[in-house]
A and B are shown apart, each in its own frame.
Chain A
Protein backbone atom coordinates (compact mmCIF):
# COMPACT_ATOMS: atom_id res chain seq x y z
CA UNK A 1 0.00 0.00 0.00
CA UNK A 2 1.51 3.32 -1.06
CA UNK A 3 0.35 6.57 0.38
CA UNK A 4 1.53 10.14 0.70
CA UNK A 5 1.10 12.57 3.56
CA UNK A 6 2.41 16.06 4.21
CA UNK A 7 3.63 15.12 7.66
CA UNK A 8 4.50 11.74 9.16
CA UNK A 9 5.03 11.60 12.91
CA UNK A 10 6.77 8.60 14.46
CA UNK A 11 5.88 7.90 18.07
CA UNK A 12 2.71 8.48 20.10
CA UNK A 13 4.25 9.78 23.33
CA UNK A 14 3.66 13.33 24.57
CA UNK A 15 5.79 14.91 21.80
CA UNK A 16 4.19 12.92 18.98
CA UNK A 17 0.64 13.42 20.25
CA UNK A 18 1.17 17.17 20.74
CA UNK A 19 2.69 17.47 17.26
CA UNK A 20 -0.24 15.59 15.72
CA UNK A 21 -2.81 17.73 17.53
CA UNK A 22 -1.14 20.92 16.28
CA UNK A 23 -0.80 19.53 12.73
CA UNK A 24 -4.50 18.64 12.79
CA UNK A 25 -5.41 22.14 13.97
CA UNK A 26 -3.41 23.59 11.08
CA UNK A 27 -5.12 21.30 8.58
CA UNK A 28 -2.07 19.31 7.52
CA UNK A 29 -2.49 15.85 5.96
CA UNK A 30 -0.74 13.99 8.73
CA UNK A 31 -0.29 10.40 9.88
CA UNK A 32 1.09 9.25 13.21
CA UNK A 33 2.61 5.78 13.40
CA UNK A 34 3.50 4.08 16.65
CA UNK A 35 4.96 0.71 17.52
CA UNK A 36 2.84 0.21 20.62
CA UNK A 37 -0.77 -0.97 20.51
CA UNK A 38 -1.98 2.09 22.46
CA UNK A 39 -0.98 5.77 22.52
CA UNK A 40 0.90 7.48 25.36
CA UNK A 41 4.51 6.50 24.75
CA UNK A 42 6.30 4.93 27.69
CA UNK A 43 5.52 7.73 30.14
CA UNK A 44 1.74 7.50 29.67
CA UNK A 45 1.43 3.79 28.95
CA UNK A 46 -1.79 2.16 30.03
CA UNK A 47 -3.66 -1.11 29.78
CA UNK A 48 -6.65 -1.89 27.60
CA UNK A 49 -9.14 -0.82 30.27
CA UNK A 50 -8.99 2.27 32.50
CA UNK A 51 -8.41 1.54 36.18
CA UNK A 52 -9.25 4.61 38.31
CA UNK A 53 -7.56 3.36 41.50
CA UNK A 54 -4.36 2.58 39.56
CA UNK A 55 -4.43 5.99 37.89
CA UNK A 56 -4.79 7.61 41.30
CA UNK A 57 -1.72 5.72 42.52
CA UNK A 58 0.26 6.89 39.48
CA UNK A 59 -0.24 10.55 40.38
CA UNK A 60 -1.30 13.87 38.82
CA UNK A 61 1.26 13.95 35.96
CA UNK A 62 -0.07 10.63 34.77
CA UNK A 63 -3.63 11.97 34.94
CA UNK A 64 -2.51 14.87 32.74
CA UNK A 65 -1.20 12.31 30.23
CA UNK A 66 -4.49 10.41 30.25
CA UNK A 67 -6.32 13.64 29.36
CA UNK A 68 -3.83 14.26 26.53
CA UNK A 69 -4.45 10.75 25.19
CA UNK A 70 -8.21 11.31 25.22
CA UNK A 71 -7.83 14.59 23.31
CA UNK A 72 -5.52 12.88 20.83
CA UNK A 73 -7.90 9.97 20.24
CA UNK A 74 -10.90 12.31 19.85
CA UNK A 75 -9.21 14.60 17.30
CA UNK A 76 -9.73 12.38 14.25
CA UNK A 77 -6.01 11.98 13.59
CA UNK A 78 -4.79 9.30 11.15
CA UNK A 79 -3.27 7.23 13.95
CA UNK A 80 -1.67 3.88 13.15
CA UNK A 81 -0.82 1.86 16.27
CA UNK A 82 1.08 -1.40 16.15
CA UNK A 83 3.17 -0.06 13.26
CA UNK A 84 6.96 -0.32 13.30
CA UNK A 85 9.27 1.91 11.28
CA UNK A 86 12.19 -0.11 9.96
CA UNK A 87 13.58 2.23 7.34
CA UNK A 88 13.42 5.94 6.60
CA UNK A 89 14.94 6.82 3.25
CA UNK A 90 16.58 10.09 2.20
CA UNK A 91 13.45 10.81 0.14
CA UNK A 92 11.40 10.39 3.33
CA UNK A 93 9.82 7.11 2.39
CA UNK A 94 8.88 5.28 5.58
CA UNK A 95 9.01 1.48 5.42
CA UNK A 96 6.60 0.06 7.94
CA UNK A 97 5.46 -3.29 9.21
CA UNK A 98 2.09 -3.88 10.82
CA UNK A 99 0.39 -6.94 12.26
CA UNK A 100 -1.18 -7.60 8.88
CA UNK A 101 1.69 -6.84 6.54
CA UNK A 102 4.04 -4.30 5.09
CA UNK A 103 3.37 -0.70 4.07
CA UNK A 104 5.20 2.27 2.69
CA UNK A 105 4.38 5.87 3.38
CA UNK A 106 5.87 8.92 1.66
CA UNK A 107 6.03 12.14 3.64
CA UNK A 108 7.02 15.72 2.74
CA UNK A 109 8.06 16.27 6.35
CA UNK A 110 8.87 13.82 9.13
CA UNK A 111 8.91 14.33 12.89
CA UNK A 112 10.66 11.61 14.85
CA UNK A 113 9.26 11.50 18.38
CA UNK A 114 10.83 8.22 19.40
CA UNK A 115 11.55 9.20 22.98
CA UNK A 116 14.00 7.82 25.45
CA UNK A 117 15.25 4.52 26.77
CA UNK A 118 16.78 3.62 30.11
CA UNK A 119 20.54 3.91 30.29
CA UNK A 120 22.07 0.43 30.55
CA UNK A 121 23.56 -0.40 33.97
CA UNK A 122 26.32 -2.96 33.25
CA UNK A 123 27.11 -4.33 36.70
CA UNK A 124 28.13 -7.95 37.40
CA UNK A 125 25.04 -10.18 37.13
CA UNK A 126 22.82 -7.61 35.40
CA UNK A 127 21.83 -10.17 32.76
CA UNK A 128 20.21 -12.52 35.31
CA UNK A 129 16.43 -12.92 35.08
CA UNK A 130 14.83 -10.89 37.85
CA UNK A 131 17.05 -7.88 37.14
CA UNK A 132 15.14 -5.25 35.20
CA UNK A 133 15.07 -1.54 34.57
CA UNK A 134 13.02 0.57 36.97
CA UNK A 135 11.20 1.85 33.90
CA UNK A 136 10.34 -1.74 32.98
CA UNK A 137 8.77 -2.26 36.40
CA UNK A 138 6.84 0.97 35.94
CA UNK A 139 5.52 -0.35 32.62
CA UNK A 140 4.35 -3.50 34.49
CA UNK A 141 2.48 -1.22 36.89
CA UNK A 142 0.95 1.02 34.22
CA UNK A 143 -0.10 -1.68 31.76
CA UNK A 144 -0.92 -4.64 34.01
CA UNK A 145 -1.45 -3.04 37.41
CA UNK A 146 1.37 -5.32 38.54
CA UNK A 147 3.62 -4.89 41.57
CA UNK A 148 6.41 -7.15 42.88
CA UNK A 149 5.04 -10.26 44.57
CA UNK A 150 7.87 -10.12 47.14
CA UNK A 151 9.57 -6.94 48.40
CA UNK A 152 11.99 -5.76 45.71
CA UNK A 153 15.18 -3.69 45.73
CA UNK A 154 15.46 -0.43 43.79
CA UNK A 155 19.07 0.43 42.98
CA UNK A 156 20.62 3.37 41.19
CA UNK A 157 20.04 7.06 40.78
CA UNK A 158 17.55 9.50 39.35
CA UNK A 159 14.06 10.87 39.92
CA UNK A 160 12.34 7.83 38.38
CA UNK A 161 13.63 5.63 41.20
CA UNK A 162 11.86 7.74 43.84
CA UNK A 163 8.76 8.10 41.70
CA UNK A 164 8.46 4.34 41.19
CA UNK A 165 9.02 3.74 44.90
CA UNK A 166 6.21 6.16 45.78
CA UNK A 167 3.90 4.66 43.15
CA UNK A 168 4.56 1.16 44.47
CA UNK A 169 3.80 2.23 48.04
CA UNK A 170 0.61 3.87 46.83
CA UNK A 171 -0.30 0.67 44.96
CA UNK A 172 0.22 -1.48 48.04
CA UNK A 173 3.65 -2.99 47.35
CA UNK A 174 6.47 -3.35 49.84
CA UNK A 175 10.02 -2.22 49.13
CA UNK A 176 12.93 -4.11 50.61
CA UNK A 177 15.49 -1.36 50.10
CA UNK A 178 16.41 1.69 48.08
CA UNK A 179 20.12 1.55 47.17
CA UNK A 180 21.19 4.99 45.99
CA UNK A 181 24.31 5.36 43.85
CA UNK A 182 24.18 9.13 43.39
CA UNK A 183 27.73 10.39 44.07
CA UNK A 184 27.86 12.81 47.03
CA UNK A 185 29.93 15.23 44.93
CA UNK A 186 26.95 15.71 42.59
CA UNK A 187 25.35 18.00 45.17
CA UNK A 188 28.16 20.51 44.76
CA UNK A 189 28.06 20.22 41.00
CA UNK A 190 24.31 20.85 41.04
CA UNK A 191 24.34 23.72 43.55
CA UNK A 192 25.00 26.52 40.99
CA UNK A 193 21.82 25.50 39.13
CA UNK A 194 19.61 25.56 42.22
CA UNK A 195 18.52 29.22 41.91
CA UNK A 196 17.20 28.66 38.38
CA UNK A 197 15.52 25.46 39.51
CA UNK A 198 13.77 27.32 42.33
CA UNK A 199 11.57 28.93 39.68
CA UNK A 200 10.20 25.43 39.13
CA UNK A 201 8.89 25.08 42.67
CA UNK A 202 6.34 22.52 41.58
CA UNK A 203 9.09 20.14 40.48
CA UNK A 204 11.25 20.63 43.56
CA UNK A 205 8.36 20.25 45.99
CA UNK A 206 7.35 17.10 44.11
CA UNK A 207 10.83 15.68 44.70
CA UNK A 208 10.78 16.57 48.38
CA UNK A 209 7.29 15.11 48.72
CA UNK A 210 8.47 11.81 47.21
CA UNK A 211 11.36 11.61 49.68
CA UNK A 212 9.03 12.40 52.59
CA UNK A 213 6.70 9.60 51.54
CA UNK A 214 9.58 7.10 51.48
CA UNK A 215 10.58 8.26 54.94
CA UNK A 216 7.05 7.89 56.29
CA UNK A 217 6.86 4.36 54.88
CA UNK A 218 10.18 3.61 56.60
CA UNK A 219 11.76 2.34 53.40
CA UNK A 220 15.31 1.24 54.13
CA UNK A 221 17.71 3.54 52.26
CA UNK A 222 21.41 3.21 51.55
CA UNK A 223 23.11 6.29 50.14
CA UNK A 224 26.47 6.61 48.40
CA UNK A 225 26.32 2.94 47.37
CA UNK A 226 29.02 1.59 45.03
CA UNK A 227 30.37 -1.69 43.62
CA UNK A 228 26.91 -3.09 42.96
CA UNK A 229 26.66 -6.72 41.83
CA UNK A 230 23.85 -9.21 41.44
CA UNK A 231 24.21 -12.74 42.77
CA UNK A 232 22.31 -15.76 41.51
CA UNK A 233 22.64 -19.09 39.74
CA UNK A 234 19.91 -18.98 37.09
CA UNK A 235 18.06 -15.95 38.43
CA UNK A 236 18.57 -12.99 40.73
CA UNK A 237 18.94 -14.04 44.36
CA UNK A 238 20.63 -11.07 46.03
CA UNK A 239 22.31 -7.72 45.46
CA UNK A 240 25.71 -6.91 46.93
CA UNK A 241 27.18 -3.42 47.31
CA UNK A 242 29.28 -1.20 49.53
CA UNK A 243 27.69 1.64 51.46
CA UNK A 244 28.84 3.60 54.47
CA UNK A 245 32.16 1.79 54.42
CA UNK A 246 30.54 -1.62 54.89
CA UNK A 247 29.79 -4.51 52.57
CA UNK A 248 26.05 -5.11 52.22
CA UNK A 249 24.06 -8.02 50.87
CA UNK A 250 20.29 -8.00 50.47
CA UNK A 251 18.33 -11.01 49.27
CA UNK A 252 15.71 -10.29 46.61
CA UNK A 253 14.30 -12.09 43.58
CA UNK A 254 13.67 -8.78 41.85
CA UNK A 255 16.14 -5.88 41.55
CA UNK A 256 15.29 -2.80 39.53
CA UNK A 257 18.23 -0.83 38.20
CA UNK A 258 18.12 2.76 37.02
CA UNK A 259 20.67 5.39 36.05
CA UNK A 260 18.46 7.82 34.20
CA UNK A 261 17.26 7.80 30.62
CA UNK A 262 18.99 8.65 27.34
CA UNK A 263 17.62 9.65 23.93
CA UNK A 264 16.71 6.68 21.74
CA UNK A 265 18.85 7.76 18.77
CA UNK A 266 18.74 4.55 16.73
CA UNK A 267 16.76 6.03 13.81
CA UNK A 268 18.40 9.48 13.91
CA UNK A 269 21.88 7.89 13.78
CA UNK A 270 20.77 5.53 11.00
CA UNK A 271 19.58 8.34 8.72
CA UNK A 272 22.80 10.26 9.27
CA UNK A 273 21.65 13.17 11.42
CA UNK A 274 24.50 15.13 12.99
CA UNK A 275 24.77 14.34 16.71
CA UNK A 276 26.68 15.97 19.56
CA UNK A 277 28.00 14.34 22.71
CA UNK A 278 26.26 15.65 25.80
CA UNK A 279 28.90 15.63 28.55
CA UNK A 280 26.38 16.12 31.37
CA UNK A 281 23.69 13.65 30.32
CA UNK A 282 26.47 11.39 28.98
CA UNK A 283 24.78 10.48 25.71
CA UNK A 284 24.59 11.42 22.05
CA UNK A 285 21.90 13.86 21.11
CA UNK A 286 20.89 14.99 17.64
CA UNK A 287 21.87 18.56 16.70
CA UNK A 288 18.56 20.41 16.42
CA UNK A 289 17.38 23.81 15.23
CA UNK A 290 14.81 26.04 16.86
CA UNK A 291 11.95 23.95 15.43
CA UNK A 292 13.56 20.58 16.05
CA UNK A 293 15.07 20.40 12.55
CA UNK A 294 17.91 17.91 12.15
CA UNK A 295 20.77 18.15 9.65
CA UNK A 296 18.75 15.87 7.35
CA UNK A 297 16.35 17.82 5.16
CA UNK A 298 12.70 17.41 6.03
CA UNK A 299 13.33 15.48 9.25
CA UNK A 300 12.76 17.03 12.67
CA UNK A 301 12.97 15.50 16.13
CA UNK A 302 10.71 16.33 19.06
CA UNK A 303 10.71 15.21 22.68
CA UNK A 304 13.24 13.20 24.61
CA UNK A 305 14.65 11.65 21.42
CA UNK A 306 16.35 15.03 20.92
CA UNK A 307 17.80 15.20 24.44
CA UNK A 308 16.24 14.41 27.80
CA UNK A 309 13.92 17.18 28.93
CA UNK A 310 10.97 15.24 30.34
CA UNK A 311 7.36 14.69 29.38
CA UNK A 312 6.13 18.24 30.03
CA UNK A 313 8.82 19.73 27.79
CA UNK A 314 8.19 17.01 25.19
CA UNK A 315 4.65 18.29 24.63
CA UNK A 316 5.94 21.81 23.97
CA UNK A 317 8.71 20.52 21.71
CA UNK A 318 6.16 18.49 19.74
CA UNK A 319 4.04 21.60 19.35
CA UNK A 320 7.05 23.59 18.07
CA UNK A 321 8.12 20.83 15.66
CA UNK A 322 4.63 20.75 14.14
CA UNK A 323 4.65 24.55 13.71
CA UNK A 324 8.07 24.33 12.05
CA UNK A 325 6.93 21.59 9.69
CA UNK A 326 3.76 23.53 8.83
CA UNK A 327 5.85 26.57 7.97
CA UNK A 328 8.22 24.55 5.77
CA UNK A 329 5.17 23.08 4.02
CA UNK A 330 3.91 26.61 3.33
CA UNK A 331 0.78 26.12 5.43
CA UNK A 332 1.53 29.08 7.73
CA UNK A 333 3.75 32.15 7.44
CA UNK A 334 6.64 32.91 9.79
CA UNK A 335 4.63 35.41 11.83
CA UNK A 336 1.85 32.90 12.50
CA UNK A 337 4.41 30.25 13.38
CA UNK A 338 6.31 32.46 15.78
CA UNK A 339 3.15 33.78 17.41
CA UNK A 340 1.77 30.29 18.04
CA UNK A 341 5.13 29.22 19.48
CA UNK A 342 5.43 31.96 22.09
CA UNK A 343 3.80 30.18 25.01
CA UNK A 344 5.68 26.92 24.47
CA UNK A 345 8.99 28.76 24.23
CA UNK A 346 8.38 30.53 27.53
CA UNK A 347 7.49 27.26 29.23
CA UNK A 348 10.58 25.52 27.82
CA UNK A 349 12.84 28.30 29.12
CA UNK A 350 11.46 27.79 32.63
CA UNK A 351 11.73 24.01 32.46
CA UNK A 352 15.34 24.21 31.26
CA UNK A 353 16.46 25.80 34.52
CA UNK A 354 15.19 22.90 36.59
CA UNK A 355 16.54 20.40 34.07
CA UNK A 356 20.14 21.55 34.48
CA UNK A 357 19.82 21.09 38.24
CA UNK A 358 18.36 17.57 37.92
CA UNK A 359 20.96 16.57 35.30
CA UNK A 360 23.87 17.64 37.50
CA UNK A 361 22.39 16.16 40.68
CA UNK A 362 21.71 12.74 39.17
CA UNK A 363 24.66 12.45 36.80
CA UNK A 364 25.39 8.70 36.96
CA UNK A 365 28.44 7.43 38.82
CA UNK A 366 31.20 6.05 36.62
CA UNK A 367 31.00 2.65 38.37
CA UNK A 368 27.38 2.28 37.27
CA UNK A 369 28.21 3.01 33.62
CA UNK A 370 31.58 1.35 33.10
CA UNK A 371 32.38 -2.14 34.48
CA UNK A 372 35.50 -2.12 36.66
CA UNK A 373 36.26 -5.76 35.91
CA UNK A 374 36.76 -7.47 32.56
CA UNK A 375 34.18 -10.25 33.02
CA UNK A 376 30.97 -8.21 33.20
CA UNK A 377 28.91 -8.51 30.03
CA UNK A 378 28.62 -5.31 28.02
CA UNK A 379 26.80 -6.59 24.91
CA UNK A 380 23.98 -8.74 26.24
CA UNK A 381 22.98 -10.12 22.82
CA UNK A 382 26.38 -11.42 21.73
CA UNK A 383 27.66 -11.90 25.28
CA UNK A 384 30.73 -9.72 24.86
CA UNK A 385 32.41 -8.88 28.19
CA UNK A 386 34.12 -5.58 29.07
CA UNK A 387 37.58 -7.15 28.76
CA UNK A 388 37.06 -7.96 25.09
CA UNK A 389 36.00 -4.39 24.35
CA UNK A 390 39.09 -3.10 26.17
CA UNK A 391 41.27 -5.51 24.19
CA UNK A 392 39.69 -4.38 20.91
CA UNK A 393 40.30 -0.76 21.87
CA UNK A 394 43.97 -1.51 22.62
CA UNK A 395 44.27 -3.32 19.28
CA UNK A 396 43.11 -0.21 17.47
CA UNK A 397 39.31 0.05 17.61
CA UNK A 398 38.85 3.83 17.61
CA UNK A 399 35.06 3.83 17.41
CA UNK A 400 32.04 1.66 17.97
CA UNK A 401 31.95 0.36 14.42
CA UNK A 402 35.47 -1.05 14.78
CA UNK A 403 34.71 -2.50 18.22
CA UNK A 404 31.74 -4.21 16.60
CA UNK A 405 33.86 -5.66 13.81
CA UNK A 406 36.43 -6.95 16.31
CA UNK A 407 34.09 -8.40 18.92
CA UNK A 408 30.53 -8.70 17.49
CA UNK A 409 29.30 -6.24 20.15
CA UNK A 410 26.16 -4.55 18.86
CA UNK A 411 25.61 -7.23 16.24
CA UNK A 412 22.73 -9.04 17.97
CA UNK A 413 19.00 -8.39 17.69
CA UNK A 414 19.03 -5.19 19.80
CA UNK A 415 21.47 -3.76 17.23
CA UNK A 416 23.63 -2.06 19.83
CA UNK A 417 20.91 -0.18 21.66
CA UNK A 418 21.86 -1.72 25.02
CA UNK A 419 25.66 -1.75 24.70
CA UNK A 420 26.44 1.48 22.83
CA UNK A 421 26.84 3.75 25.89
CA UNK A 422 29.12 1.25 27.62
CA UNK A 423 31.25 0.49 24.55
CA UNK A 424 31.56 4.25 24.02
CA UNK A 425 32.91 4.75 27.55
CA UNK A 426 35.23 1.70 27.41
CA UNK A 427 36.81 2.67 24.08
CA UNK A 428 37.25 6.27 25.24
CA UNK A 429 38.83 5.28 28.57
CA UNK A 430 41.07 2.56 27.17
CA UNK A 431 42.41 4.82 24.45
CA UNK A 432 42.55 7.94 26.61
CA UNK A 433 40.13 9.82 24.38
CA UNK A 434 37.21 12.11 25.13
CA UNK A 435 33.91 10.24 24.74
CA UNK A 436 32.89 12.87 22.18
CA UNK A 437 35.79 11.78 19.95
CA UNK A 438 34.62 8.15 19.75
CA UNK A 439 32.21 7.78 16.81
CA UNK A 440 28.92 6.01 17.67
CA UNK A 441 27.45 2.97 15.93
CA UNK A 442 25.97 3.68 12.53
CA UNK A 443 22.77 1.63 12.69
CA UNK A 444 21.46 0.29 9.39
CA UNK A 445 17.97 -0.67 8.34
CA UNK A 446 16.05 -2.67 9.28
CA UNK A 447 15.88 -0.72 12.56
CA UNK A 448 14.06 -3.73 14.01
CA UNK A 449 14.29 -7.32 12.78
CA UNK A 450 11.87 -7.87 9.90
CA UNK A 451 10.92 -11.15 8.31
CA UNK A 452 11.94 -11.86 4.73
CA UNK A 453 8.25 -12.45 4.11
CA UNK A 454 7.46 -8.87 5.15
CA UNK A 455 10.08 -7.48 2.79
CA UNK A 456 8.82 -9.64 -0.06
CA UNK A 457 5.29 -8.41 0.59
CA UNK A 458 6.36 -4.82 -0.21
CA UNK A 459 6.70 -5.55 -3.90
CA UNK A 460 4.07 -8.24 -4.13
CA UNK A 461 1.12 -7.62 -1.80
CA UNK A 462 -0.22 -11.08 -2.67
CA UNK A 463 2.87 -12.67 -1.15
CA UNK A 464 2.00 -14.69 1.91
CA UNK A 465 4.31 -16.47 4.26
CA UNK A 466 3.09 -20.03 4.45
CA UNK A 467 5.35 -21.52 7.03
CA UNK A 468 7.25 -20.43 10.06
CA UNK A 469 10.40 -21.70 8.33
CA UNK A 470 10.39 -18.58 6.22
CA UNK A 471 10.54 -16.31 9.23
CA UNK A 472 14.29 -16.03 9.17
CA UNK A 473 15.69 -13.43 11.44
CA UNK A 474 19.35 -12.66 11.35
CA UNK A 475 19.70 -14.29 14.73
CA UNK A 476 18.41 -17.60 13.35
CA UNK A 477 20.90 -17.64 10.54
CA UNK A 478 23.73 -17.03 12.95
CA UNK A 479 22.49 -19.76 15.26
CA UNK A 480 22.83 -22.34 12.52
CA UNK A 481 26.34 -21.36 11.46
Chain B
Protein backbone atom coordinates (compact mmCIF):
# COMPACT_ATOMS: atom_id res chain seq x y z
CA UNK B 1 0.00 0.00 0.00
CA UNK B 2 2.66 2.48 1.09
CA UNK B 3 6.41 2.80 0.78
CA UNK B 4 8.91 4.72 2.86
CA UNK B 5 10.60 7.74 1.39
CA UNK B 6 14.36 7.33 1.45
CA UNK B 7 15.73 8.74 4.69
CA UNK B 8 18.57 8.23 7.13
CA UNK B 9 16.46 6.37 9.67
CA UNK B 10 17.16 2.64 9.66
CA UNK B 11 14.51 -0.02 10.15
CA UNK B 12 15.88 -1.24 13.46
CA UNK B 13 12.65 -2.45 15.11
CA UNK B 14 11.68 -6.05 14.43
CA UNK B 15 8.20 -7.43 15.03
CA UNK B 16 6.19 -10.37 13.73
CA UNK B 17 2.83 -10.21 11.96
CA UNK B 18 1.06 -13.56 11.79
CA UNK B 19 4.46 -15.16 12.35
CA UNK B 20 6.24 -13.26 9.58
CA UNK B 21 9.10 -10.98 10.60
CA UNK B 22 8.94 -7.28 9.64
CA UNK B 23 11.51 -4.56 10.21
CA UNK B 24 10.25 -1.03 10.75
CA UNK B 25 11.67 2.31 11.76
CA UNK B 26 11.39 3.44 15.40
CA UNK B 27 8.18 5.37 16.08
CA UNK B 28 6.08 3.73 13.37
CA UNK B 29 2.68 2.47 14.48
CA UNK B 30 1.63 -1.14 14.07
CA UNK B 31 -0.97 0.00 11.52
CA UNK B 32 1.74 1.81 9.54
CA UNK B 33 3.84 -1.36 9.67
CA UNK B 34 0.93 -3.36 8.21
CA UNK B 35 0.34 -0.86 5.40
CA UNK B 36 4.07 -0.55 4.63
CA UNK B 37 4.33 -4.34 4.34
CA UNK B 38 1.57 -4.39 1.72
CA UNK B 39 -1.12 -5.68 4.07
CA UNK B 40 -4.23 -3.65 3.33
CA UNK B 41 -6.37 -6.01 5.40
CA UNK B 42 -5.93 -5.70 9.16
CA UNK B 43 -8.89 -7.85 10.17
CA UNK B 44 -12.07 -9.53 9.02
CA UNK B 45 -15.23 -8.41 10.80
CA UNK B 46 -16.95 -10.42 13.50
CA UNK B 47 -20.37 -9.76 11.96
CA UNK B 48 -19.89 -10.97 8.36
CA UNK B 49 -16.21 -11.77 7.93
CA UNK B 50 -15.78 -8.77 5.61
CA UNK B 51 -12.20 -7.53 5.16
CA UNK B 52 -11.23 -4.23 6.79
CA UNK B 53 -8.09 -2.16 6.96
CA UNK B 54 -6.88 0.98 8.71
CA UNK B 55 -9.17 3.87 7.74
CA UNK B 56 -8.54 6.91 9.97
CA UNK B 57 -5.05 6.25 11.45
CA UNK B 58 -5.94 8.42 14.46
CA UNK B 59 -7.82 6.18 16.84
CA UNK B 60 -11.37 7.03 15.78
CA UNK B 61 -12.62 4.25 13.48
CA UNK B 62 -11.47 1.03 15.22
CA UNK B 63 -11.02 -0.70 11.87
CA UNK B 64 -7.40 -1.63 12.58
CA UNK B 65 -8.08 -3.78 15.66
CA UNK B 66 -5.43 -6.48 15.98
CA UNK B 67 -4.08 -8.77 18.64
CA UNK B 68 -0.79 -7.49 20.09
CA UNK B 69 1.28 -9.75 22.34
CA UNK B 70 -1.76 -11.87 23.04
CA UNK B 71 -4.10 -8.99 23.90
CA UNK B 72 -6.96 -8.67 21.44
CA UNK B 73 -8.75 -5.63 20.01
CA UNK B 74 -5.83 -3.23 20.24
CA UNK B 75 -5.94 -0.20 17.94
CA UNK B 76 -2.95 -0.81 15.68
CA UNK B 77 -2.78 2.87 14.73
CA UNK B 78 -2.42 3.91 18.39
CA UNK B 79 0.38 1.49 19.32
CA UNK B 80 3.97 2.05 18.26
CA UNK B 81 5.80 -1.03 17.05
CA UNK B 82 8.43 -2.26 19.50
CA UNK B 83 11.16 -4.84 19.22
CA UNK B 84 9.89 -8.39 19.62
CA UNK B 85 6.22 -7.41 19.37
CA UNK B 86 3.91 -10.19 18.23
CA UNK B 87 0.98 -9.03 16.10
CA UNK B 88 -1.85 -11.23 14.87
CA UNK B 89 -4.56 -10.03 12.55
CA UNK B 90 -8.05 -10.82 13.80
CA UNK B 91 -9.85 -12.78 11.14
CA UNK B 92 -13.53 -13.12 11.97
CA UNK B 93 -15.08 -13.76 15.37
CA UNK B 94 -12.64 -13.63 18.26
CA UNK B 95 -12.71 -16.09 21.10
CA UNK B 96 -12.52 -15.02 24.72
CA UNK B 97 -9.18 -15.98 26.15
CA UNK B 98 -7.64 -16.80 22.80
CA UNK B 99 -4.11 -15.46 22.77
Report which A residues bind B (CB closer than 8 A): 35-38, 42, 47-49, 51, 53-54, 117-118, 127-133, 135-137, 139-140, 143-149, 171-172, 234-236, 253-254, 264, 380-383, 412-414, 417-418, 448-449, 467-469, 471-473, 475-480
In angstroms, Cα B28 to Cα A194, docked, is 41
Does B84 touch A at the CB level, under 8 Å?
no
In angstroms, Cα B36 to Cα A104, docked, is 37
Q: Are A130 and B40 in contact (CB under 8 A)?
A: yes
Q: A48-B27, A117-B60, A468-B70 are in contact. Are A129 and B5 (CB under 8 A)?
A: no
Q: Show 30 A/B contacts (Cβ-Cβ < 8 Å), sorted by A.
A: A47-B28, A48-B80, A49-B26, A54-B5, A117-B56, A127-B52, A131-B55, A132-B56, A132-B57, A136-B54, A136-B56, A143-B27, A144-B36, A147-B2, A149-B1, A149-B3, A234-B51, A235-B51, A380-B63, A418-B56, A448-B59, A449-B73, A467-B97, A469-B96, A469-B97, A475-B46, A477-B96, A478-B46, A479-B46, A479-B93
Report which B residues bind A (CB closer than 8 A): 1-5, 7-9, 25-29, 32, 35-36, 38, 40-42, 45-48, 50-63, 65, 70-73, 77-78, 80, 93-99
Closest 5 CB pairs of A and B: A48-B27, A129-B53, A469-B97, A129-B40, A136-B57
In angstroms, Cα B73 to Cα A113, docked, is 26
Contact of A148 among B2, B47, B60, B98 (CB under 8 A): B2
- Interface residue SS majority, chain A: loop
- Interface residue SS majority, chain B: loop
How many A-B pairs have beta carbons closer than 8 Å: the answer is: 173
In angstroms, Cα B96 to Cα A141, docked, is 36
Q: Are A381 and B71 in contact (CB under 8 A)?
A: no
Tell me which residues across on chain A come within 8 A of B4, comparing CB atoms: 144-146
Tell me which residues across on chain A come within 8 A of B70, comparing CB atoms: 468
Q: A382-B47, A476-B96 are in contact. Are A236 and B57 (CB under 8 A)?
A: no
The chain B residue with its CB closest to the CB of A146 is: B2
Tell me which residues across on chain B come within 8 A of A172, comparing CB atoms: 5
Q: Are B58 and A42 in contact (CB under 8 A)?
A: yes
